[in-house]
Amino acid sequence: METKEQKTITTTLPDSARIWIYPSSEVLTDETVEKILPACRNFAKEWVAHNQALHADAFIIKNKFLVLGVDEAVAGASGCSIDSSVKFVQNLGFEIGVDFFNRLNFDYLENGELKTAHKDDFSTLYNNGVVNDETPVFDHLVKSLGELKTAWLKPLGQSWHKNLI
């Protein structure tokens, strides 16, 4: 269950690259994406772990999902380098007025349209039959670029989300 954006991700990172997905609290405008994407790519270009440059990249999918990735075959991200990326994303969110860290929001597709609902609201939607076990949900816990391309979007019934509703 792949989206068009997943098929066309442009990056120099291999499918084995470790990734972190930061879902924005709202869909970003094209202008905002154009403004922040160079800063994200610059952060990735300058990202280091123990004074060693990381082979990293950043991209945004559907104007909502910021993805940072590292080719750990070149150099692995460490605790301190991961902390620096979290601080970067927190500051970026503060600068543009969005939250990239609300893990209680579920992102899903309804009739092909990207939707976001708080966990409790998503449970209500499920109980009312608006969403069901076939509803595509985004699994932001995928760990590699390859998984992002093939397993990020999956039916609710096959996702960890189901355990929370």
Query: Is 27 domain-assigned?
Result: yes
Judgement on whether residues 38 and 92 belong to the same structural domain of the protein:
yes
Contact, 108 vs 137, CB < 8 A?
A: yes
Tens-digit pLDDT profile for residues 24-35: 999 999 999 999
Query: Is 5 domain-assigned?
Result: no
Query: Is 10 domain-assigned?
Result: no
Structural domain that includes position 27? 15-96
CA distances from 97 to 15, 27, 28, 35, 39 (A): 31, 12, 10, 13, 16
**Domain end residue (candidates: 96, 130, 154):** 96
Judgement on whether residues 88 and 111 belong to the same structural domain of the protein:
no
Judgement on whether residues 86 and 125 belong to the same structural domain of the protein:
no
Tens-digit pLDDT profile for residues 43-69: 989 886 666 666 789 999 999 999 999
**Domain end residue (candidates: 46, 75, 96):** 96
Mean residue pLDDT of the chain comes to: 88
> Among 39-53, 94-108, 139-153, where is mean pLDDT lowest?
39-53
Query: Is 40 domain-assigned?
Result: yes
Number of compact structural domains in the chain: 2
DSSP labels, 58-84: EEEETTTEEEEEE-TTT----HHHHHH
Give this prediction's pTM.
Answer: 0.89
Judgement on whether residues 39 and 89 belong to the same structural domain of the protein:
yes
Residue 136 reports pLDDT greater than 60: yes
Judgement on whether residues 92 and 28 belong to the same structural domain of the protein:
yes
